[in-house]
Structure 1
Amino acid sequence: MNYLAHAWLARHSDDAILGALLGDFVFGQSALADWPPAVRAEIVRHRRIDRYTDDHPAVVATRMRFGDLRRYAGIVLDVYFDHCLARDWARWDATPLDAFTGRIYRILDERRGRLPPRLAALAPRMAAHDWLGSYARRESVDAAVRGISTRLSRNGDRLVACLERLRTDEAHVQAAFAAFFPDLLRAADELRQAPPGA
């Protein structure tokens, strides 16, 4: 769900950005064979970045603060962390946010014939409504989470309930991002240097 952060961590090439976005849409080892090596390597890195994120102490502690909703909190945190990245974009990148999101939308459009069906269906809406750039606005977090809740097979209401917990604990979630994101940048660099099968 944190498409902006994954794409930004893969900004060194268009193939890498595509692979970073495909990480939530390509499943299993056998499906990797359908993609060229540069794309495949970034799909694998996406999975490793997700594991690193899920296991980071600041993220684990923040999920626990959601109590009985912690199972759904990871989705909300992914979206909120994209908001934190977009809101303070100039701190992280000299390229304007709209230029970077435009690059993402172009990549998806140019390769739409190869995209998995679910991403192929999402990509035009993502671009038309500038989902990634809109994360700079706080209200887009709630809108995105509500949208995701309608695509869950069950318990969408539990995901929406996380929004109230997020509002009451937002200062802590911002502090968790500040603690976690620099660590993620270092880990992502190390993952990029590691051989794809390592």
Structure 2
Amino acid sequence: MNYLAHFHLSHGKQGLMIGALLGDVVKGPLKGVYPSEWEQGIQLHRRIDAYTDSHPLVRACQARFPKKFRRFSGIMLDVAFDHFLSQHWQQFHPQALPQFNAEVYSLLDNTRWPATAQAHAQRIAKHDLLNHYQEWDFILEVIASIGRRLRVANPLAEADQILPQHYQYMAQAFTEFYPQLQQFASAEKLTMGEDLALNNKRVE
């Protein structure tokens, strides 16, 4: 999943939302370098990605793309799914999308980010990415931009020739998949909260 979905699925605790962004840049084992709730957010990000990558509905979408796109299909779907989340936002969250996004931008602006994440946080707010995800043409531009930043040769500049053909299929897959992902993320957050409470009790 991409930025909007990760912020949405971690919503409720600022530390988890910070970790949702850090999950894109922090790699390897977590060793207590960051606050515990940030690291929980990173773990949640990783588990959401693993759940998404292995889900049959997501794999069925990927299988529809031409072979040369398959290696990068996860990137394309992550961004496309943020578009569908924007389009169907009221089904998944009681708060209006512009208000939610404003809350996220405030968090991005008022957090002292590690150097590795500072550029990500600034880019999201500067370009108002979360609100623009509602625009399909913008989604195609984002995917092409990711392709230009990758260090390996890739066909993402040609995604505009492929993704529109599968728009309805992806939209239907998303509406079936996302409620399952919400349930998964909620269960993970509950487990993490119980673990944190237990650890704090031990410290006391």
Q: What number of residue pairs does the alignment pair up?
A: 193
Alpha-carbon distance in 1 for matches of 2:163, 2:103: 31
Question: How big is the alpha-carbon RMSD for the aligned residues of Structure 1 and Structure 2?
Answer: 1.7
Alpha-carbon distance in 2 for matches of 1:49, 1:71: 19
State the match for 1:184 in structure 2.
Answer: 181
The one-letter code of the counterpart of 1:176 is A
State the match for 2:13 in structure 1.
Answer: 13
The one-letter code of the counterpart of 1:46 is H
Q: Unaligned stretches of 5+ in structure 1?
A: none
SS in 1 for 2:81: helix
- How much has 1:160 moved relative to structure 2? 2.3
Structure 1 range deviating more: 186-195 or 135-144: 186-195
Say whether 1:47 aligns with 2:46: yes
Alpha-carbon distance in 1 for matches of 2:115, 2:59: 31
SS in 2 for 1:49: helix
Identity within the alignment, %: 35
Alpha-carbon distance in 2 for matches of 1:146, 1:99: 28
Give CA deviations for 1:35-80 in whole Å, capped at 9, x if unaligned.
Answer: 1111111100110100000000000111111131111111010000
Q: Say whether the 8 Å CA contact 2:144–2:158 is kept in structure 1.
A: no
State the match for 2:114 in structure 1.
Answer: 115
- How much has 1:175 moved relative to structure 2? 1.2
Structure 1 range deviating more: 3-12 or 160-169: 160-169
TM-score (norm 1): 0.91
Say whether 1:143 aligns with 2:141: yes
Alignment of 1:1-198 (within 5 A): 2-30=2-30, 32-68=31-67, 69-111=69-111, 113-117=112-116, 119-156=117-154, 158-195=155-192
The one-letter code of the counterpart of 2:33 is D
SS in 2 for 1:191: helix
Alpha-carbon distance in 2 for matches of 1:36, 1:125: 24
- How much has 1:89 moved relative to structure 2? 1.5
SS in 1 for 2:72: helix
Q: Unaligned stretches of 5+ in structure 2?
A: 197-204
Alpha-carbon distance in 1 for matches of 2:86, 2:101: 10
